[in-house]
Amino acid sequence: MGLLRKFLAWLSVLVICLFGLLFYLVRPFNPDNNRYLAWVISRVGRALLGMQCTVTGRENIPRDRPTVVIANHQHNDDLFMLGGLLPPRTVTVGKKALIWVPFFGQVFWLGGNVIIDRSRSNKAVAVMRATANAISKERKSLWVFPEGTRSRGRGLQAFKKGAFHTAVAAGAPITMVCVSQYQDKTIGWSGRREPVAIHVLPPVETAGLTADDIPRLIRECHDAMAATIDSISPAAR
Burial (CB < 10 A; 0-12, 13-18, 19+), residue 213, is: middle
Distance in angstroms (rounded) separating the CA atoms of residues 162 and 124: 7
**Mean predicted confidence (pLDDT) in 197-212:** 96
Domain boundaries, the chain: 2-232
Distance in angstroms (rounded) separating the CA atoms of residues 48 and 15: 14
Least confident of 38-42, 92-96, 164-168: 92-96
Residue 171 has a pLDDT of 94
**Mean predicted confidence (pLDDT) in 204-216:** 96
Give the chain's mean pLDDT: 90
Contact, 228 vs 113, CB < 8 A? no
pLDDT band at 124 (very low <50, low <70, confident <90, very high): low
Is the confidence at residue 199, as pLDDT, over 90? yes
CATH number of this structure's domain 2-232, picked from the four choices 2.60.34, 3.30.450, 3.40.1130, 3.30.420: 3.40.1130
Is the confidence at residue 135, as pLDDT, over 70? yes
Is the confidence at residue 32, as pLDDT, over 70? yes
**Mean predicted confidence (pLDDT) in 172-195:** 91
Residue 128 has a pLDDT of 67
Query: What's the pTM?
Result: 0.91
Residue 121 has a pLDDT of 58
Chain segment 7-27, per-residue pLDDT in tens: 999 999 999 999 999 999 999
